[in-house]
Amino acid sequence: MKRQKRDKLSRAHAKGYQAGIIGRSKENCPFQAVEARSHWLGGWRAAMEDRSLGFGKT
């Protein structure tokens, strides 16, 4: 059975969240395309909010 890939924007959001939860800077965004970059930053912002609530590594 073939595996189905997640769409690229969903993956960008997830990668941004992972980067944010471990404390990376938003300047480290690997995406150049505006739409993918905005999804990555959205994930990063969500992770920063979660970190402020006490989730993730401190």
pTM: 0.83
State how many domains the chain has. Answer: 1
Higher pLDDT among residues 45 and 2, named by residue: 45
Residue 5 has pLDDT above 90, yes or no: no
**pLDDT given at position 31:** 95
Give the domain extent around 52. 8-21+32-58
Is 1 part of a structural domain of the chain? no
Instruction: Answer whether residue 26 is part of any domain.
Output: no
Given pLDDT bands bounded at 50, 70 and 90, which one contains residue 50?
very high
Q: Is residue 27 part of a domain?
A: no
Q: Is residue 41 part of a domain?
A: yes
DSSP string, the chain: -PPPPPPHHHHHHHHHHHHHHTT--GGG----SHHHHHHHHHHHHHHHHHHHTT-S--
| Both structure tokens of 7 | 């769409």
Q: Is residue 2 part of a domain?
A: no
Across 33-52, average pLDDT: 95
Closest by CA position to 40, among listed 53, 26, 51, 52: 26
